């Protein structure tokens, strides 16, 4: 599945992959070589741990390569603010308790609730996508249906 990301996040992903391949991978190989020198491999816990760490690193590299290959870069200047979409900031009011909050709708890799960024694939994100100013979004939550009124949509 493709992930929507900003150019900045895409560059961070590429930098992280480069670091994994050029710094972390050689370090893992070195750790295996050092553990191998310490004797019998059947009873060498250090060797087993180093091999396991290398396996985890290789899995992370493969996963990140896949994410980069399928990433869709979103340009903020091309976003239509007439409706809720990826990268829009939406101000919503919970109809039940009258609390108003602003969230930016982002891809899963950028989601960070503390900084007001929610994933488009989260229940609230899914419920808000495509709605316009004044609409009421009904979001299915564990406690039941929550209704949010769309107050404002911008970049």
Question: Distances in Å between the alpha carbon of 121 and those of 31, 125, 127, 151?
Answer: 39, 6, 9, 21
Most confident of 7-16, 42-51, 74-83: 7-16
CA distance 122 to 137: 14
* Mean pLDDT, residues 72-93 taken together: 88
pLDDT of residue 108: 83
- Structural domains present in the chain: 4-73 (1.10.287.180), 76-154 (3.10.50.30)
Q: How many contiguous H segments (helices) and E segments (strands) does the chain have? A: 4, 7
pLDDT level of residue 95 (50, 70, 90 thresholds): very high
pLDDT of residue 92: 95
Give the percent of the chain with pLDDT over 90: 58
Average pLDDT taken over every residue of the chain: 89
* Mean pLDDT, residues 20-47 taken together: 86
pLDDT(43) > 80: no
Question: pLDDT per residue over 98-127, tens digit each?
Answer: 999 999 998 888 888 999 999 998 999 999
* Mean pLDDT, residues 8-12 taken together: 89
């Amino acid at each position: 599945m493709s992930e929507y990301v900003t150019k900045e996040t895409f560059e961070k992903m590429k930098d992280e992959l480069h670091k994994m391949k050029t710094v972390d991978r050689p370090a893992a190989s070195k750790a295996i070589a050092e553990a191998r020198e310490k004797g019998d491999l059947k009873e060498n816990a250090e060797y087993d741990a180093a091999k396991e760490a290398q396996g985890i690193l290789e899995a992370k590299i493969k996963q990140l390569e896949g994410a980069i290959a399928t990433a869709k870069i979103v340009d903020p200047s091309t976003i239509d603010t007439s409706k809720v979409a990826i990268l829009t900031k939406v101000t919503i009011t919970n109809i039940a308790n009258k609390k108003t909050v602003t969230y930016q709708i982002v891809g899963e890799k950028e989601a960070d609730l503390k900084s007001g960024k929610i994933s488009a694939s989260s229940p609230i994100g899914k419920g808000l996508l495509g709605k316009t100013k004044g609409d009421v979004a009904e979001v299915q939550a564990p406690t039941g249906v929550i209704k949010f009124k769309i107050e404002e949509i911008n970049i």
